[in-house]
A and B are shown apart, each in its own frame.
Chain A
Amino acid sequence: MIRLSYLSNTNVPLEAECITPDLFLGKSNADIAKLTVFDGNRKCELGQFFSISGTMDDDSILIENDCSNVKLIGSRMTRGKIEVLGNVGMHLGAGIKGGSILVRGSATDWVGAEMKGGTIEILGDAGHLIGAAYRGASVGMRGGNLIVHGSCGNEVGSHMRRGLIAIGKNVGDFVGMGMIAGTIITAGSVGIRAGAEMKRGTLVFLSEKPALLPTFRFSCNYNPSFLTIYFNKLKQFNFPLLTPTDTTWSRYCGDLISLGRGEILCKA
């Protein structure tokens, strides 16, 4: 395991998209220290901001200290594991294709934006637009699992195409906005306009039913057996939302202003 200890306390965001198992693999610690990062708009070396120890023998990276200002950790990684012992900055795991990221603190915006695979788990909170499409892009998250045990901001899973997002506490407004497919499960309260313009996909709300847009229409109360498959998956993450298999759910179809093949499932 490579151990990175963040040493800087600058207020300028550090863009460190080089912190991935893919780029560390086969390099000595001296070579890893020379990888490029951007301190604001200034091109620097990773070693100027992190102390580096250990080896990449098990394809994993451990990051210590508060990295709230460090962006793009694990972005586009395809393999291995990253564990962060503190908070992390924006764009964590953006475009990730494989491997796993575990954050024992909180993250901010754009976690797993346009991710294609792998798993991101955050034990604390996350910001806005997690698993979302970047502005101007048509498709957000395209696969993988994005698990946040705390709360999230607005536009969670915006335009996501595939994959699973699970939120342990509250989400802000416009969750699943423009969703193309995929599944979002939330355990806490939900902001306004959930599922706005969603075409397909599933929003599962485990707490009180939020005020839904008028373009979502009630279909029925029933017992969707596929949900248990998702809940069993979330048990792997000690997710505190599991409900009995005989729970009855209300199904709302929408957004009828769009394709209308999406669904919102709330406890009946």
Chain B
Amino acid sequence: MISNTEAPSFVFQGVKIIDTFAEAFPITGTRVIVTAVSKEWAFIAATTSTGYASSVIGCDTEAGIERELSPDETPDGRPGFSLLFFAFSREALQKAIVARVGQSILTCPTTACYNGVAIDPTRAIQIGGMLRFFGDGYQTSKLLDGKRYWRIPVMDGEFVCEDKFGTVKGVAGGNILILATTQAFALQAASRGVAAARKVPDVILPFPGGVVRSGSKVGSKYKKLKASTNEAYCPTLRAIAASQLDPNVSAVYEIVIDGFSREAVEAAMKNALHAACGEGVECISAGNYGGKLGPVHIRLSSLIS
């Protein structure tokens, strides 16, 4: 293994950038617009429905909040949030969203749920059309301009959910690794990177706060595990494992990005990389598996221009 000390690199804004690539892969995604009587309740629905959705390694979907929506941007004129969900297939995506909307949005006071992607009938998933059965025969629907909205009676009125949601073929697994001299510098850099990446439309950062501290490798010494800690990036193991870290690196954070297109993921990675460069950051790299995992390779050098 070539360490980051020895790997080809270049300098950008005083920070060493490893000349490597982020290895991303195709994934199916959709956008869910959740609204409520107030921004606070919409946010509660948004956060609960996108919780426990950091990685498809262990979750049914990768999900996150794309951005806040003003009342004039939502179908029902109320405050809302746009959420992105990703899974490996349309079937898996539908199953995950039906469960999450059913448990975390339908249950949340005053909420409603709408599709946020253009619908291709051959690639649509059914959400409201599955959840309607909760109405036990009292559900009704409205069809306007080809869109069907299910109205499910609940205890504070009714839950409105669009019947079908469009899907797109997106890209998951865009990432950068921030290597810094202290944990504090690493976290500051990661936070700057997250804020910058979130300015890009059509992307989410599915991990807590947009930051990953537990970078993983494929497989484990334990046969049942699909992934395990990446010892090469753990500073505490530098003395006993093959390390990728320079001697003065004490903390590493990863920013993972999923998006509706390669272009969107690249733009978010670029924003994150540029913003992360700063005090205490020794090096920026990217996670990959030698090209064996995903067909989408985003080189860090392409993000510098």
Contact = CB atoms under 8 A, between A and B. Distances in A.
B143 A225 contact: no
B35 A233 contact: no
Interface in B54-87: 71, 75-78
Interface string B185-204: 00000000000000000000
B142 interface: yes
Given A224-B157, A225-B35, A226-B149, A245 B140 contact: no
B158 interface: yes
Nearest to A221: B157
Which secondary structure dominates chain A's binding surface? mixed
**B interface bracket (residues with beta carbon within 8 Å of A):** 20 to 34
Interface of A: 143, 162, 164, 183, 200, 202, 220, 222-226, 228-233, 245-246, 261
Nearest to A219: B153
Contacts of B151: 224, 226
Contact of B157 (A202, A222, A245): A222
B144 A225 contact: no
Residue with the greatest number of chain B CB neighbours at <10 A, chosen from A225, A229, A230, A232: A225
A247 to B, nearest CB: 11
A164 B142 CA distance: 10
B142 A183 contact: yes
B218 interface: no
A162 B143 contact: yes
Contacts of B35: 225
Interface string B108-148: 00101000000000000000000000000000101111000
A225 B140 contact: no
B142 A225 contact: no
A223 B140 contact: no
Contacts of B142: 183, 202, 226, 229-230
Contacts of B144: 164, 183, 229-230, 233
Contact of A261 (B140, B145, B158): B140
Contact of A232 (B37, B77, B112): B77
Contacts of B77: 228, 231-232, 245
Contacts of B78: 225, 228, 245
A192 B182 CA distance: 78
**Could you say which of A162, A228, A261 has the most chain B C-beta atoms within 10 Å of its C-beta?**
A228
Interface in B152-178: 156-158, 160
Residue of B71, B110, B112 ringed by the most chain A CB atoms within 10 A: B112
B75 A229 contact: yes
A228 B140 contact: no
Contacts of B158: 222, 224-226
18 contacts: A222-B156, A222-B157, A223-B110, A225-B76, A226-B76, A226-B142, A226-B151, A226-B158, A228-B75, A228-B76, A228-B78, A229-B75, A229-B76, A229-B144, A230-B142, A231-B77, A232-B77, A233-B145
Contacts of A230: 142, 144
Contacts of B75: 228-229, 232
Given A226-B160, A228-B75, A245-B78, 19 more contacts: A162-B143, A164-B144, A200-B140, A223-B37, A224-B151, A224-B157, A224-B158, A225-B35, A225-B76, A225-B112, A226-B76, A226-B158, A229-B76, A229-B142, A229-B149, A230-B142, A232-B75, A232-B77, A245-B76
Contacts of B143: 143, 162
Contacts of A246: 37
B158 to A, nearest CB: 7
A162 B149 CA distance: 13
Contacts of B149: 226, 229
Contacts of A162: 143
Contacts of A261: 140
A140 to B, nearest CB: 15
Nearest to B143: A162
B75 to A, nearest CB: 5
Contacts of B110: 223
Nearest to B35: A225
A220 B35 CA distance: 22
B159 to A, nearest CB: 9
Contacts of A143: 143
A182 B250 CA distance: 65
B234 to A, nearest CB: 49
A245 B160 contact: no
A231 B37 CA distance: 17
Q: Give the 7 A-B residue pairs with the shortest CB-CB distance, closest first.
A: A222-B157, A225-B76, A245-B77, A228-B77, A228-B76, A225-B112, A226-B160
Nearest to A244: B77
A164 B145 CA distance: 10
Nearest to B75: A229
Contacts of A223: 37, 110, 157
Contacts of A202: 142
A232 B78 CA distance: 12
Nearest to B157: A222
